[in-house]
A and B are shown apart, each in its own frame.
Chain A
Amino acid sequence: MSNHPTAIHVQDLRKSYGNLAAVQGLTFSVRQGEIFSLLGPNGAGKSTTIAILSCLVPPTAGDATLMGHSIRSRPGAVKQVIGVVPQEIALYEDLSARQNLLFWGRMYGLKGDPLRRRVDEVLELVALGERQNDRAGQYSGGMQRRLNIAIALLHEPQIVILDEPTVGIDPQSRRRILDSIQELKRCGVTILYTTHYMEEAQELSDRIAILDHGRMIAQGTHAELVGMVGELSRIRLTLSRKPSGLLDLWRMLASVHSVSEENGTVSLLVRDSARVLPTLFESAARETIQITAMEVQEPDLEAVFLHLTGKALRD
Chain B
Amino acid sequence: MNILTITFKDLADSLRKPLVLAFMLVLPLLQAGLPYLAFNGLAGGLDVQITRVLVVDLDQPNPAYPEFRAGELLTAMLADEQLANLLEVTLSDDAYAARRMVEAGQADVAVIIPPELTASLFEPEGRAAVSIYHDPTLTLGPGIVRDVVVNFLDGFAGALIAADLTTLQLEALGQQVTDRTRQEAMQRYGTWAQSVGESLSRGVHPAIDYGDPVEVHQTGSLMKAIVGPMMAGMLVFFAFFVGAFAAQSLLREDEQGTLKRLFRTPLSRGRILTGKFLAVVILLLLQTVLLLGFGSLLFGIHWGAALPVAVNGLGLALSAAGFGIMLISFMRTSRQAFLVMGGAVILTGMAGGTMTTTFASLPAAFRLLNLFTPQGWVLRGFEAALQGRALLEAAVPALVAAATGLAFLLVGWHNLNRRYS
Contact = CB atoms under 8 A, between A and B. Distances in A.
A56 B420 contact: yes
Given A107-B265, A107-B267, A90 B258 contact: yes
Contacts, number: 53
Main SS of chain A's interface residues? loop
Nearest to A75: B266
Interface in A123-171: 151
Interface string A81-114: 0001010111111100000000110111100000
Given A92-B258, A106-B2, A58 B421 contact: yes
Nearest to B257: A90
B261 interface: yes
Residue with the highest number of chain A CB atoms closer than 10 Å, among B16, B257, B264, B420 = B264
Contact of B421 (A57, A86, A88, A90): A57
A80 B265 CA distance: 7
A56 B254 CA distance: 13
Contact of B257 (A76, A89, A106, A109): A89
Contacts of B100: none
Interface string A48-90: 0000001111100000000000000000100110001010111
Contacts of B25: none
A302 B229 CA distance: 74
A103 B260 CA distance: 15
A107 B258 contact: no
Contacts of B268: 76
A57 B421 CA distance: 5
A57 B263 CA distance: 10
Residue with the highest number of chain A CB atoms closer than 10 Å, among B265, B420, B421 = B265
B261 A106 contact: no
Q: Please classify how large the interface on chain B is, using the bins under 10, 10 to 19, 20 to 34, 35 or more.
A: 20 to 34
Given A58-B421, A93-B256, A80 B266 contact: yes
Contact of B13 (A79, A90, A94, A106): A94
Nearest to A107: B265
A33 to B, nearest CB: 23
Nearest to A83: B264
Given A57-B421, A58-B421, A76-B266, A106 B5 contact: yes
B258 A91 contact: yes
Contacts of B265: 79, 104, 107-108
Contact of A107 (B5, B16, B257, B420): B5
Interface string B350-383: 0000000000000000000000000000000000
A107 B1 CA distance: 9
B162 interface: no
A55 B263 CA distance: 8
Contacts of B5: 103, 106-107
Contacts of A90: 256-258, 260-261
B258 A79 contact: no
Interface in B64-114: none
Contacts of A86: 257, 260-261, 264
A77 to B, nearest CB: 8
A135 to B, nearest CB: 12
Interface of B: 2, 5-6, 9, 13, 16, 256-258, 260-268, 420-421
30 contacts: A55-B264, A56-B260, A56-B263, A56-B264, A56-B420, A57-B420, A58-B421, A76-B266, A76-B268, A79-B265, A79-B266, A84-B261, A84-B264, A86-B257, A86-B260, A89-B257, A90-B256, A90-B257, A90-B261, A91-B256, A91-B258, A103-B5, A103-B9, A106-B5, A107-B2, A107-B265, A107-B267, A108-B265, A108-B266, A109-B2
Given A92-B258, A94-B13, 7 more contacts: A56-B263, A56-B420, A79-B266, A84-B261, A88-B257, A89-B257, A92-B9
